[in-house]
Chains A and B, each alone.
Chain A
Amino acid sequence: MKNRLNRKNASSALTRDELKKIRKKSLIKLAAIGVFVAAILVFRSTAWFTSNKDVSGDGMQMTASDTLFEIATKGENVRNSEIISQADSEYGSGSRTEIDSTTYYKTGSTEKLLLRFDTGDSEIGPGDSGEVSLYVIPKQDGDLNVRITLDIVAYTMLDKKDSNGNIIYQKDENGSPVLDESGNSKPEQVLAKITNDMADDNYLTPSEVAEYTAAADYLKGHIMFFGDEGDTANSDENERYYYKTPYTAREFTEKFVNAETGKAYRIPVYWMWPNTFGQIALPDNSTGQRSGYPILKDTDTESKTLVADYLKANKSSVFTNYTEITDTILTAPDESTNFKLLSDGYNRADFIIGTSVSYFMIEVSVEAAE
């Protein structure tokens, strides 16, 4: 109050012009505050719109699709849809849409999209490969750059246990136990994500957890991603190979120049679980050690270097006997002792994957890039 009084006293002594100047100043100040408040309001309202329209999830994990682009997929079916909804219920089918008379399913109200497929197996093992049906639909015209990150998440089926750690058995409608072919009670099964702390909910021993996590690690190491198809139909069988452009870093950027709003642009992603070590890293097949076609063309030295570096950096995720495998051994994989060591380690890891991992998810993240 004191201040105000002082000012009043002062103003009474001012001329008319001076008074005007002061008024102008405070108007500018007021306007500035107004703009500021407006700015806050605008931001607030954007946030409100975003959250109202498309955001779900919890806390800071807000994921809105009202952005530069949407993602889409196409195909008749979803693989193991019941299992994936148990694994992560946030995954949804998206909304059906027609683009250039092709049916796509895009991220509409769901921000996590179930990928679809037409042909191919849903139960796989070493030697299998496939394609990820992934598209982006720009929401504005112009260049669009997206960064894609690829991940493998492993799950296993465990016997369900009660809070005392005892197995819960299946019962029919009369309450009698359900029996398997050998006459033993069938336990209820539960899908568990393989993580370091999976023991907490599933009553597993540390060594069991270590087995599962090792298997999940081998799976991550064995599934490889690529950006281009190779040539598996060449009339010369020696010229056949599966893929080009290995994504050993599991991350890449895709650029769409002059992209048009509402069109579907494909992001090519292929994956393979190579059957044998010989297909992965031999310089050529002069030693005759290779069975099946190589994953990369023998002359594609750039790609082969990437894969060789990948193997060196991820020994413990590829070979069970990684403690014996040195970079020197990986540099001469076709030397017969080395080849046996590497092949044994690779095959054994495949076996561990197959006995410990029940399901795995290929998870693709797409975000705007510079």
Chain B
Amino acid sequence: MKDAINKIKMLSVHKKVQLLTAAILTISVFTAIPVYAWFSNQHKAAEMYKVAYPNSLYINAAHREDRMYFGLDAVDVNDYVRGEDGIPVKDTNGNMIPITEKKYVFTVSGSNADKFILQVAHTNNNLFNYKIYEAKQYDYLEGEAPEGADSDKIVPAGTSDVNVIEYKTNPGGYTENPLVFASDPVNKTSEETKYYVIGNMINGKYLNNENNNKQIGADNLAANNDKYYTENYGENTNTEAHAVPSYWQAELSANPDANKQFCKYFVLRVTWNTTEQDANKKKETDMIYFSVLRTQ
């Protein structure tokens, strides 16, 4: 060993450099090979999946707001049409005009769906009449739009006031529906006013009550072994006839846009004290449920 060190010491600078280079190269060969060996022990395999565009359906209050803003506030069947001062308005004969209807806006929106079933289930305590209409949303009343506003955003001329429903948005009310529509954005910071114009009535059908919204004879349904009745109540016949729900359905086209999304507005029109209503039962509460189901 001493010999070797002495020999190295005696070498010329040139030779020393050569020796050092040789030594480094040798070491690098030894270190490089195990590294290569590690790489060569790894194999990879893979497969590729396509992600289906999500299909979603949302039922919301007007302007895709959270469901809690779909407020079916109290109906006073004995109230009259009132002016801005709160005093009932009189007709040409000097009679007060009874209120016989209320309208509520709701939204069905979704993605990757071509058709859906809109279902309404309601009890019949008050024997109200329920009808659903298509609605179109606008940003401005006629004559109130700023200059240059898109004509699509202005309530069309000649629309009867009766058919326009004004709705004030709730900026904090957009937490349920994540869909984004460039043509119909939501404002999460400040209140906006939207106007909904009633369109065509939806042609739906009562599944368990062909006479549309008349009192269902519970005994009758039970006796006929009506499938909706037995689903809910089984063999029991001692049910309160007005509490037996009526089921109404309509299948609608979604007509999605280029982004495979759609947003449709509807109006629920509740009427009473009209020829459409069988009788005024003057009960306290009715329940109404909405649901949507994608069919295509």
Chain A residues near B (Cβ < 8 Å): 3, 36, 40, 43-44, 46-47, 50, 55, 60-71, 73, 78-81, 83-84, 87-88, 91, 107, 111-117, 122-126, 132, 134, 153, 180, 182, 184, 219, 344, 348, 350-355, 357-368
Contacts and interface: CB of A to CB of B under 8 A. Distances in A.
Interface in B83-109: none
Contact of A46 (B33, B49, B51, B176): B33
A47 B35 CA distance: 11
Given A47-B36, A182-B258, A354-B54, A84 B43 contact: no
Interface in B28-61: 29-30, 33, 35-36, 39-56
Contacts of B10: 3
A40 B29 contact: yes
Contacts of A357: 51
A126 B49 CA distance: 13
B42 A122 contact: no
Nearest to B55: A125
Contact of B43 (A111, A117, A153, A359): A111
Given A67-B41, A367-B42, A359 B47 contact: no
Nearest to A43: B33
B45 A358 contact: no
B178 interface: yes
Interface in B119-164: none
Contact of B46 (A47, A88, A180): A88
A40 B26 contact: yes
B40 A64 contact: yes
Nearest to A42: B33
Contact of A367 (B41, B50, B52): B41
A126 B54 CA distance: 8
Contacts of B55: 125
Contact of B33 (A47, A63, A64, A348): A47
Nearest to A364: B45
A122 B49 CA distance: 5
19 contacts: A3-B10, A43-B33, A47-B36, A62-B39, A64-B36, A71-B43, A79-B49, A112-B45, A123-B50, A123-B52, A125-B54, A354-B53, A354-B54, A360-B49, A361-B47, A363-B44, A363-B45, A365-B42, A366-B44
Contacts of B53: 354-355
B45 A134 contact: yes
Contact of A79 (B48, B54, B176): B48
A360 B54 CA distance: 15
Contacts of B41: 67-68, 367-368
B26 A112 contact: no
Interface residues of B, number: 29
A347 to B, nearest CB: 9
Contacts of A67: 40-41
Contacts of B51: 123-125, 219, 353-354, 357-360
A80 B46 CA distance: 11
A79 B45 CA distance: 13
A359 B51 CA distance: 5
Nearest to A358: B51
A312 B231 CA distance: 42
Contacts of A70: 43
A367 B40 CA distance: 9
Given A60-B39, A367-B43, A122 B29 contact: no
Given A73-B45, A83-B50, A354-B51, 9 more contacts: A43-B30, A63-B43, A64-B40, A84-B47, A107-B43, A122-B49, A123-B50, A123-B52, A359-B48
B47 A362 contact: yes
Interface string B209-228: 00000000000000000000
Contacts of A182: 258
A359 B178 CA distance: 22
Contacts of A60: 35, 39
Contact of A114 (B45, B50, B176): B45
B4 to A, nearest CB: 10
A366 B47 contact: no
Contact of A111 (B44, B52, B56): B44
A64 B48 CA distance: 23
A117 B45 CA distance: 13
B140 to A, nearest CB: 28
B49 A362 contact: yes
Given A43-B33, A62-B36, A63-B40, A355 B47 contact: no
A73 B46 CA distance: 10
A125 B43 contact: no
Contacts of B42: 63, 365-367
A80 B43 contact: no
Given A60-B39, A67-B41, A351 B54 contact: yes
B48 A83 contact: yes
A253 to B, nearest CB: 14
Contacts of B36: 47, 50, 62, 64
Given A67-B41, A351-B178, A112 B49 contact: no
A204 to B, nearest CB: 17
B49 A80 contact: yes
